Amino acid sequence: KALIGAQTVVLPSTLEYINFSGIHAPSTIIAYEISNNEIYKTVNGILYSEDGKTLVMYPAGLGGEVTLDANVTIIGENAFAGNNFITKVTINQSVIIADGAFAHCTDLSEINFTSAQVSVFIGRGIIENCDPSLVIKVPSAMLEAYKQFVFYDTDIVDRIE
């Protein structure tokens, strides 16, 4: 209940582990902050692993079009879940996508992969309860390769174009 109405969530410097399984942050949150932490960091309000390779949590109150930072190789479990304001996500590199990464993003209409390297959809419920018209765009030469790397969510395969 402490998060209701909050715009910035300040995480303790002693934080060692955060589990976002099944959690959808309030839509008022526009930034996370953490400092002097060896495991996590924030950049422009977005929570990452300290090395910047895992996008841990994107604020539920930020919207519009998102381009994934080039250093990210993993989109963590529920990283964007419940964000009703993002409309498009562009991913310019190969990434691993975990459980529920984009679940319940009701305004998300497009996920655009531009890399010739295939991304891997290892999670379950990645686009659960998203807009039914959501499309996943991939380079045409990579269409079949992308379809082979969807392991659990068969509805993703139907949305890849």
Res 23: pLDDT: 61
Whether the per-residue pLDDT at 105 is higher than 70: the answer is yes
Res 118: pLDDT: 79
Mean pLDDT of 25-30: 81
Closest CA to 68 of 41, 86, 50: 86
Res 126: pLDDT: 87
Mean pLDDT of 144-156: 71
User: 47-62: per-residue pLDDT in tens?
Assistant: 999 999 999 999 999 9
The half-sphere exposure of 46 on its side-chain side, counting CA atoms within 13 A, is 22
User: 54-97: per-residue pLDDT in tens?
Assistant: 999 999 999 999 999 999 999 999 999 999 999 999 999 989 99
Share of the chain above pLDDT 90, in %: 52
Res 1: pLDDT: 39
User: 120-132: per-residue pLDDT in tens?
Assistant: 777 788 888 998 8
Mean pLDDT of 89-117: 91
Range of weakest confidence among 36-40, 64-68, 73-77, 140-144: 140-144
State how far the Cα of 59 lies from the Cα of 160, in Å rounded to an integer: 26
Question: pTM above 0.85?
Answer: yes
H helices of 6-117, in order, are none
Q: In what order do the strands lie in the sheet with 110-113?
A: 64-67, 86-91, 110-113, 135-137
